[in-house]
Structure 1
């Protein structure tokens, strides 16, 4: 495997996959697709890959088709040592020239921001399909590893799907994700867990937001968090100030920007169901099928099925900065642009931040931890699915929300319930929370949910637990207490 650059933080899985792809010994040209939201470090990964292997890197621009061909010809001429830029008559010739770089050895050939090229010339995927056709000399005699990279998630998601020209041609499909809460805290250098979680609730795990956008300005501690928000996120001179608006503008499928902003604002205000969003917008629920699907395809919204009701779905904003913008910044946007006292506006908006951003984000972090980071000893088995949901209570004619429902997977392909949990960010949890979970477990047992009778009861808290609750959990594996150190610190080996 290629040696990973020392300045690269994490991305071991991605570097390993790319290294294997560009050193594959099999003959013939290969095609790979790399995608991910903006600012995740895709360009740094691919540039580093080309530097390590002597590969070719072409960064596409928003430009006319002819200009892009001219730029590509100039870079190819420079790369091959030609006395003049290559004259490319069209993309058939251009793709063959790129494949020709691999006649002597396996070499990565990267086209970054590929969607820009296709926007100017929609025929390019078909051209690549034809260039990579079996038994074609240019493909069989080449050892080029062609990598197409892009940040427009809706476009990149369709590139290899359905009846798309490149379906079945790619030997690598790599999505570069955001850093999870643990890695993000390490990357930002924040050791105080509550501060790390609050920062993560605003900027998520996007690496560029620390380096380029915040210029390595991190909160010095919990007492500096409010000041950090004011100077780094709410300041009109900071790149983070308008970033959420630009994220939507970058997606070519979001043509009616006002509608999509309104849908996101509805979700950020706590209207997570399709009916709630429709009521917020004053529209029929059926009218929202298309915009919600587009936002999902763009990776801005996630559809979460209810853990206990098959016909109930909740929507969640997947990008923390977008959720923060719509919940906190958008309602006071004009004031933020013109005020000299952003601190006052922040204090006025802090309750919205805690209720509409921080609380839901903490719940999602807890579900992520339960699904991906908790060992089998925590819930008695390996978690296979984690969700939230509502449990009917016929006697009281109400329903109870369950923040974390953990399901396993048995040998008969059934999903027994392993645990149910409640999440509180700013509240010290006590035995009353445990009693509530016991009542919900009784309801689920009466509904004959597999595993409900032995499901563990989990309390997730950002503020801690009362001595009585800790005593109740002592020596009882059926009661699980998860605090911030547990969520952030890996268990001792």
Structure 2
């Protein structure tokens, strides 16, 4: 049954809802997100003859709700944000807000979600119309059958769908839940015409968003808060370090201050994921990672548990986007795990071990004793990751003589020296018709002025790989430094023996 005749006065949709245009201007107060906005507006304005569905996900504080609310406003669509409630309360709120949207004299009443979804399909009977259900996981937890209800409503031959041009967008912050919504045996698999993940701002965008011109200061700030937009506006209320000299004080008055929302945010990021049952174990896994235990065996040893106990938590943390797994470029059967959210790495390395002192307001003392650990355990690994991201997203093809395709880390055994060499940035790419060519071996040092000794180590690794049969003919050795390079190394770069990447190049060059 259509609910237009039952719930919508004939004039309401025509008089209270603005008609969308194909070219919806991005709101002036929206920073960047050009690609996300273009994808969403193209989906909302699609002139296709039948109802379609999209899934939008991303961790909290990335601006998903702002994007979707702006889309609904610009296109005259309907936006509903759920919260944790019973099915009956959610249906009541949904009916009230839909009634307000359509200009109904009285609130609409729905006894089942089947009726509510059909009401949304009826909204798009006249024209393409975006309809947003934000925080969809809250509704699905109260009504586990809701994904199946949407599946039935969007059946390929269902008349209600074929005669509607509603553009339904389901949004959620639980990456574990949203990731399963379209995968495997999920009822909605194959139903979505768009799957969009709203990612944090990259390190260059984050520097611009925070208004920081000094690349060293920008990277230090990014090592603490990453690229989450809300941390500047809502969490620290536009408190930006004035310069490098102000950075220490800024950390103490924000991330280490019990008065700041940023102080507890890392712990709340885990709480947002309802699929995490034993939160103490997950926190311990993250703490082990932040302490430098990067392998499953190392984490298990740190926690004094069998490796089998660690496998599932690591998988779930990956699904949540809080941990990333990286495969060794030269030993495919070996991988390492790294914390994927800078604020969590900072919290577990610096804040969590000293919570009793921080709760007493002793941020200055804690920071004074922890600053060296911050530079080595937090900034150092983060700098390596930023270098890999630069290669993947910003380096010009001519930098390495080919288009980078895969950027990772790698370890190369050195039997003669009875050791192994870890390479921070391994670049494989395309040269002509060949894909997977080894383009570069790179070493990254945040706090060291790099010299010829670092180049010699890379040369040694190149010769070891060549001795194992690896084609190194296209390899360009690269040094990445946050502290600079010696004159001898710059002279080697001038002769084409090494590529040098400093902070200025990371943030402004190719």
- After TM superposition, the score normalised by the length of structure 1 is 0.98
Render the CA deviation track for 1:16-54: whole Å, top value 9, x for unaligned.
000100000111111000000100000110011011011
Partner residue, 1:430 = 451
Residues 401 and 474 in structure 2, CA contact (< 8 A), matched pair in contact too? no
Which residue of structure 2 aligns with residue 470 of structure 1? 490
1:90 equivalenced with 2:109 (yes/no): no
Q: For 2:299 and 2:45, how far apart are their aligned partners in 1?
A: 49
Report if the CA contact (8 A) 2:403-2:431 is conserved.
no
Matched, 1:369 2:384: no
Alpha-carbon shift at residue 10 of structure 1 (Å): 0.5
Is residue 473 of structure 2 the alignment partner of residue 458 of structure 1? no
1:264 equivalenced with 2:308 (yes/no):
no
Distance (whole Å) between structure 1 residues aligned to residue 315 and residue 163 of structure 2? 42
1:217 maps to 2:239: yes
Name the residue aligned to 1:401.
Answer: 422
Q: Deviations over 1:242-295 (max 9, x none)?
A: 000000011011110000000000000000011110110101112211111000
What is the match of residue 319 of structure 2?
297
Equivalent position SS for 1:429 = coil
Contact 1:441-1:453 within 8 A present in 2 as well: no
Which string of whole-angstrom CA distances, capped at 9 and with x for unpartnered residues, describes residues 225-247 of structure 1? 00000001111010000000000
User: Residues 162-311 of structure 1 correspond to what in structure 2 (within 5 A)?
Assistant: 162-311=184-333
Point out the more displaced range, 300-309 or 280-289: 280-289
From 13, 30, 36, give the equivalent of 2:52. Answer: 30
Is contact 1:407–1:415 with CA below 8 Å preserved after alignment? yes
SS at match of 1:92: helix
The Cα of 1:411 is off from its aligned counterpart by: 6.3
Output one character per residue of 1:134-184: Cα deviation in whole Å (capped at 9) or x when no partner.
221211111110000000000000000011000000000000000111000
Task: Report the secondary structure of 1:103's partner residue.
Answer: coil
Structure 1 portions without partners, runs of 5+: none
Q: How many correspondences in the alignment?
A: 488
Task: For 1:454 and 1:304, locate their aligned partners in 2 and report how far apart those are by CA, in whole Å.
Answer: 24
- Indicate the RMSD between aligned Cα atoms, in angstroms: 1.0
Give 3-state SS (helix, strand or coil) of 1:82's partner: coil
Larger deviation: 195-204 or 394-403? Answer: 394-403
Q: Which residue of 1 aligns with 2:79?
A: 57
Runs of 4+ in 1 over 2 A off after TM superposition: 409-414
Matching of residue 133 in structure 1 with residue 155 in structure 2? yes
- 2:382 maps to 1:358: no
Distance 2:230 2:458 in 1: 40
Quote the Cα distance in structure 1 between the aligned partners of 2:432 and 2:293: 38
Aligned position for 2:501: 482
Shift in Å, 1:413: 5.8
Quick one: distance in 2 between partners of 1:2 and 1:475? 51
TM-score by length of 2: 0.94
3-state DSSP of counterpart to 2:277: coil
Query: Does structure 2 retain, via aligned residues, the 8 Å contact 1:408–1:417?
Result: yes
Is structure 2 residue 364 aligned with structure 1 residue 343? yes
Partner Cα separation in structure 2 for residue 199 and residue 212 of structure 1: 16
CA distance in 1, matches of 2:118, 2:462: 63
Matching of residue 313 in structure 1 with residue 335 in structure 2: yes
**Structure 2 SS opposite 1:57:** strand
Structure 2 portions without partners, runs of 5+: 1-22
Q: Look up the SS of the partner of 1:384 in the other structure.
A: strand
For the residue of structure 1 that corresponds to 2:169, the secondary structure is strand
CA distance in 2, matches of 1:65, 1:356: 46
Decide whether the 8 Å contact of 1:63 with 1:116 is kept in 2.
yes
